[in-house]
Amino acid sequence: MMTLRKSRDRGHADHGWLKSQHSFSFADYHDPAHMGVGNLRVINEDRIAPGTGFGTHGHRDMEIVSYVLEGALAHKDSMGNGADGGAHAGVILPGDVQRMSAGTGVRHSEFNHAADQTTHFLQIWFLPDRNGIEPGYEQKHFDPAAKRGRLALVASPDGAQDSVTIHADARLYAGLFEGVENACLAVDPKRPQYVHLVRGELTVNGERLSAGDAVTLRAETEITLADGKDAEVLVFDLSA
């Protein structure tokens, strides 16, 4: 069974410096029919105006993944990332996948320091498989070639295939598709899946999607992706 969610049906927020589309209920947008899928709780498509950003704020007990599409996102947190001498430089660029485990509590900020370019990124939250873990951070780059015409595993609970490790029973794949390029992913029909088209056009199990569209899949055994037109897609395999 497959359920389509069109881009235009998402929640929308315009704060001037921030324009955001909410796939699931978030902040002032609340829809009881769209609270998440499985352990996937948030997908916000955010555009941050030049010279602005999120000031320091806190999170806890959430696995947060950031996926930058355009521009740069400067991250700084209470674990020392983004600070002089920190373990990570804290700048996230297109192709990067950042994982922050909020655990017992972390404070961070996210800024677009460019003078003339909007930062366009996806903010993704997973419910963790347990609360109260030690906060953590990881960041890896995935070249376009690794995603071209295939689904690359970019986040998983065991760090398989050099993906970032999330403390959640979920796997996140990313792919780029054009023309005759196609892929097929076998999935467990007992688990839900969610396919979010980041940009372009793509056919998913026979359903044509445009940028921002998504489908929820239940009781399916495979996901087929074909007929891409400048398509970038994220595929989530989730716990029930």
Residue 77 pLDDT level (bands cut at 50, 70, 90): confident
What percent of the chain shows pLDDT beyond 90? 93
Question: What contacts 117, CB < 8 A, 6 or more positions away?
Answer: 50, 70, 71
The rounded mean pLDDT for the chain is 95
pLDDT at residue 16 tops 90: yes
Kindly state the average pLDDT of the residues 54-58.
92
Q: CB 99: neighbour CB atoms within 10 A?
A: 23
Query: What pLDDT, on the 0 to 100 scale, is given for residue 240?
Result: 83
Query: What pLDDT, on the 0 to 100 scale, is given for residue 12?
Result: 96
Cα angle at 60 between 54 and 64, to 5 degrees? 60
Topology of the domain covering 2-237: Jelly Rolls (2.60.120)
What three-state secondary structure class fits 166? Answer: coil
Any idea of the CA torsion for 154, 140, 17, 103, to the nearest 10 degrees? 80
Residue 50 in tokens: 């030049």
Domain boundaries, the chain: 2-237
Kindly state the average pLDDT of the residues 172-184.
98
What percent of the chain shows pLDDT beyond 70? 98
pLDDT digits (tens, 9 = 90+) for 79-129: 988 876 666 667 899 999 999 999 999 999 999 999 999 999 999 999 999
Query: What pLDDT, on the 0 to 100 scale, is given for residue 106?
Result: 95
Q: If residue 33 lies in a helix (H) or strand (E), which one and from where to where?
A: none
Query: What pLDDT, on the 0 to 100 scale, is given for residue 87?
Result: 62
pTM beyond cutoff 0.75: yes
